[in-house]
Chain A
Amino acid sequence: MTDASNAAPLREKKSLLVVDARTKKRNAAEARFKMYGIIAITLGLLFLAVLLTTIISRGTGAFTQTFISVPVELREDKLDKKGNRNLEDIKKVSTFGYNPLLGDALSAVIAEGGFTTEITKSKELRKLLSSSAVGQMRAYVIENTDQIGQTVTFDFFASSRVDGYIKGRVTREDLARDKNLSAEHLDLVDQMIEAGVVRKKFNPSFIFGADASESRPEQAGLGVSMLGSLFMMLVVLFLALPIGVAASIYLEEFAPKNRLTDLIEVNISNLAAVPSIVFGILGLAFFIQFCGGYLGIAAMKASAPLVGGLVLTLMTLPTIIISTRAALKAVPPSIRDAALGVGASKMQTVFHHVLPLAAPGILTGTIIGLAQALGETAPLLLIGMVGYIASNYPDSVLSGFTDPNSAMPAQIFEWAKRADPAFYERAWGGIIILLVFLMTMNIIAILLRRRFERRW
């Protein structure tokens, strides 16, 4: 064969301890490359940190709220003129009818506390309180008709301006041209704080409560729309994951490789690029108008989390399919050969060996897909889940899928738009809850993914 002289060393011998110039250069490139990685990760984490601190610093305020405790005399002459405790009659008194009681009660508080203030008009005094106060009283009276005639101490929400004052958002100067509250009110509030009538405390109803109208930011909570999101995510998880994985398995492992499957593949990538609002158009047309209207499936109606979940499922599918297919592709063929070689069927091979090895990629797709679905608002706009919707808890678990509801991002989006700046704080607070929800939702997937990760 070749002669020995060919084997002359191309490079001179050198000590390993001395790094030669070329290696130095390559090592520098190596260090640079690694540095890029570190920079990239640091950048990513830095952005995250900035965003999170912004969110947290702006949002934590939403978790506390100012309350004013007011003893109210539930006067019989106003609430039950006939005096026979007939529920029908008591119900005839609307919330507007409770206003005088509230005004009197506040005057009484001032008198009792010995507070000094110029404000005397009932309407002006009531500006300290949320307009939810009367509703709260009326609901209480209807529940406890026997209490009519008694004096009951209520813990009312303070109005958003008062709350803003206590949280430092509202100052006396700000109120100069504000018709909702005046500086005198604040003087009164100062005295009330002193007397312990006004307190700021943790407000669970922000986390568990329902949405409130534009005029009552203090009462608004995320609880109901959280349920809306939960039900939607259940639908998405139980449909998108199995359908996505099944579709990927078919396309990657079973489908004949031909024009048609190429078309399907391109088509799925393309679906990922369809703006989410277009999925809303589809949802309106197919689920609500066709299934709900034409086919008469009662559960398929506007504002139902079931429909929202279905729309988000369709929207999430491409993400899961694309990542699952990539993960399946990455499993070395020798493993399939090994299983087929001992007489496993293709189906068994896929489910016993390939799928577990592709699990990390599938779970990543799921994590990202769900994150996307959880944060999406645009398609919900068209199927009636954005607006003033999440005002009632669903009656049961099953009706949670069909009762009108909103979703967390839609609720946050709605709050961010509302005029009263108190909603702005709640929007950020809502984002905190959303992120906690997201992390909780993903934690199982993240742990599972770590378990499945391995090299071969």
Chain B
Amino acid sequence: RDNVQVAGSSTVLPYASIVAEAFGENFDFPTPVVESGGSSAGLKRFCEGVGANTVDVANASRAIREKEIKACADNGVTDIMEVRIGYDGIVFASDIDGATFEFTPADWFNALSPKVLVDGAIIDNPNQTWADVNPAFPAQQIAAFIPGTKHGTREVFEEKVLAVGCETTGALKAMEAAGMSEDDAEDACIKVRTDGLSTDIDGDYTETLARIDANKDGIGVFGLAFYENNTDKLQVATMSGVTPTTESISTGEYPVSRPLFFYVKKAHIGVIPGLKEYAEFFVSDEVAGPDGPLAEYGLVSDPELALTQEAIANEQTIASGS
């Protein structure tokens, strides 16, 4: 095998494909092959073992888990380099011709949680329209298209929006006061109502877009890059007063984002032609920097990119590095 083989997250795929294409254009190495199939499937194949018939790089929209590192090690994949390439902003957007929204996490909690706090009591969520949630909003039917539970984005949504909303509305306290254990209360916070007002999307953002197309009341969760490519159809909502842009996300002002990674098998470096070059090229300033093509496409570049570059140069692995 002469080419670098990459597998994993479909969220990282666009960035990886841009890099792979430019890598092929600028190096004599063959263009790397970038498969999609999900972070989990990619890491699973990554951890299958060391050798030419396994992948060299796994893209992931979340950090590798302890259990996975162990599973990797069981198969002889011990020296893993973790590379954080930047952040994926997660935005809320609705139809371009519809009403404009300025959300807070509390709004989302009150709209989607099966149980909310009303007048000091935890009751079944009575809210049917956005006006019920917040009088400032139009009386528009709640129709949320949120990522299905297979998506890492869902986890981010739960942690950074629902859980936060749960706390700020005081629902968390009220639940604990009502005798729930802390864990149970936290679990209850991130539950989503199942009466049809919220729809899980197992597909990708195009599907969410199509759903909003079919239901103009819909509000969907998108990646920043996807939204930026579809500003003709979508308008983005602010969160806690901040408009999501690459800048506001990289400064941490806009709260909802997640880091993106790829993982490299150190053992393959020096054996698979172009592997190290690919990794270095990926995080080079020209590519992943704030003016590079990745940022242009919608990646929130990592302020600590220099550290990452150095780590790659030193072939720092997870065990030795972190």
Contacts and interface: CB of A to CB of B under 8 A. Distances in A.
Interface of A: 91, 94-96, 131, 135, 138-139, 170-171, 173-180, 212-216, 284, 288-289, 292-293, 301-303, 381-382, 384-389, 391-392, 404, 414, 416-421, 424
A419 B5 contact: no
B237 to A, nearest CB: 13
B3 interface: yes
B35 A416 contact: no
Contact of A302 (B24, B28, B55, B204): B55
Given A95-B25, A179-B228, A301-B1, A214 B35 contact: no
Nearest to A417: B204
A384 B36 CA distance: 8
Nearest to A414: B36
A91 to B, nearest CB: 8
A411 B7 CA distance: 16
B113 interface: no
A177 B206 contact: no
Nearest to A169: B232
Interface string B11-45: 00111111011101110101101111100010001
Nearest to B205: A419
Contacts of B14: 213-215, 418-419
Contacts of B20: 213, 388, 391
A17 B33 CA distance: 77
Interface string B212-250: 000000000001011011111101000000000000000
Contacts of A387: 7, 13, 17, 33-37
Interface in B21-74: 21-22, 24-26, 28, 30-31, 33-37, 41, 45, 48-49, 51-55
Given A388-B17, A392-B24, 8 more contacts: A95-B25, A95-B26, A138-B26, A177-B235, A215-B297, A301-B1, A389-B33, A419-B205
Contacts of B231: 174, 176-178
B53 A303 contact: no
B35 A384 contact: yes
A401 to B, nearest CB: 15
B232 A170 contact: yes
25 contacts: A176-B231, A178-B232, A212-B21, A213-B22, A214-B14, A215-B18, A289-B53, A302-B5, A303-B35, A381-B36, A384-B5, A384-B37, A387-B33, A387-B34, A388-B20, A388-B21, A388-B33, A391-B20, A392-B31, A404-B3, A417-B204, A417-B205, A417-B206, A419-B225, A419-B228
Contact of A419 (B24, B230, B286): B230
Contacts of B298: 419
B153 interface: no
B10 interface: yes
A417 B25 contact: no
Interface residues of B, number: 52
B286 A302 contact: no
A388 B16 contact: yes
Q: Considering residues A214, A216, A284, A289, which has the most beta carbons from chain B within 10 angstroms of its beta carbon?
A: A214
B293 interface: yes
B155 interface: no
Contacts of B30: 392
A388 B34 contact: yes
B296 interface: yes
Interface in B283-318: 286, 293, 296-298
A131 B45 CA distance: 32
Query: A-B pairs with the 6 shortest C-beta distances?
Result: A174-B232, A388-B17, A214-B14, A419-B229, A387-B35, A213-B21
Contacts of A179: 228
A194 B307 CA distance: 50
Contacts of B297: 214-215
A335 B297 CA distance: 68
Given A214-B14, A387-B37, A404-B33, A421 B230 contact: yes
Contacts of A214: 13-15, 17-18, 297
Nearest to B224: A419
B53 A292 contact: yes
Contacts of A289: 48, 53
Contacts of A301: 1, 52-53
Nearest to B204: A417
Contacts of B49: 293
Nearest to A131: B293
Nearest to B228: A179
Contacts of B206: 416-418, 424
A96 B19 CA distance: 13
Contacts of B18: 213-215
B94 to A, nearest CB: 14
Q: Considering residues A91, A284, A418, which has the most beta carbons from chain B within 10 angstroms of its beta carbon?
A: A418
A388 B10 CA distance: 10
